[in-house]
Amino acid sequence: MSNTPREQQEASRARMVEFWRYYDAMEARLSRPLTERMLELAGVSPRMQVLDVACGRGEPAIPAAHRVGPQGQVLGIDLVDGVLELARERARQEGLENITFQVADAEALEVGARTFDVATVRWGLMYMREPERALASIHRALKPGGVLVIASWAEPARVPWASLARRILERYREVPPLPRADEPGVFRHADPARLEAALERNGFSVEASEEWEVPVVEAHDASDIVNWIRQLGGPVVKLVGELPEPRQRAWEAELLAELEKRRAGERVTLGGVTRLTLGTALAARGRA
């Protein structure tokens, strides 16, 4: 008997939680420079109130909590309680008492208006059904003059962690097109003009934009990165699984060869270019 869509979704979330439980420490270490740059751009400092939207396992919420100190406060929200539990575990390990994690939908955020000095969204806005509703919610939550920093991915050619396996698969079979720019996906905000226009429509003044090369996964052996890609899942992995076994092996051999080109010394690294966008919340007329 097949599982219901709800059961399938719950199983998928459980797999995701276990995936990140295994890889969390590595990903947090590799992406720490980006996290710190987000907090620097936002000007996070002691006593501030910080909202981290789609915080997942606690990035950048937990580093922000260290910055705001005991008289500041951080709220991290996400839709998946399982990943929030990973964040809670880490916060306890780091002795943080000034941070709270709660399940909440950023598109219908119920927090106090004009409460937060800073909001951050690291690699989350692009996956939301209606990101502009989330931006409007964040705007309501920020004090006038408060700042928002968003991390989003650049175009596919510069984000190999999400595109390399797909590009190689195109040599073996027809691959459906990537989601459109108005659909949830990794590359939804690859065009900076699209994100900046959305910010401006929702009460933000865009102040700065900069790009960072970010490692996402690294290993001594390229085969470990192939395993990471398979565990991460997604449409490409499903399409690979539909190939005859010899063609699956050929796809993997080509992927391994491409990964080896990215070796530096004892390590192979796969990542991509992230764009940081800084916006300031304007005091809109009639804002509650």
Q: How many domains does the chain have?
A: 1
Asked whether residue 286 is domain-assigned, the answer is no
Asked whether residue 78 is domain-assigned, the answer is yes
The CATH code of the domain that includes 144 is 3.40.50.150
Whole-model pTM?
0.92
Burial of 190 (0-12, 13-18, 19+ CB in 10 A): buried
Asked whether residue 245 is domain-assigned, the answer is no
Q: How many Å apart are CA 121 and CA 106, to the nearest integer?
A: 10
Q: For residue 284, what pLDDT is reported?
A: 62
Count of C-beta atoms within a 10 Å radius of residue 91: 21
Which residue segment(s) compose the domain that 81 sits in?
A: 5-155+181-215+273-281
Task: Determine the average pLDDT of the residues in 27-52.
Answer: 97
Asked whether residue 148 is domain-assigned, the answer is yes
Asked whether residue 277 is domain-assigned, the answer is yes
Token digits of residue 42: 């936002």
The residue among 65 and 81 whose pLDDT is bigger is 65
The pLDDT tens digits of the residues spanning 181-203 come to 899 999 999 999 999 999 999 99
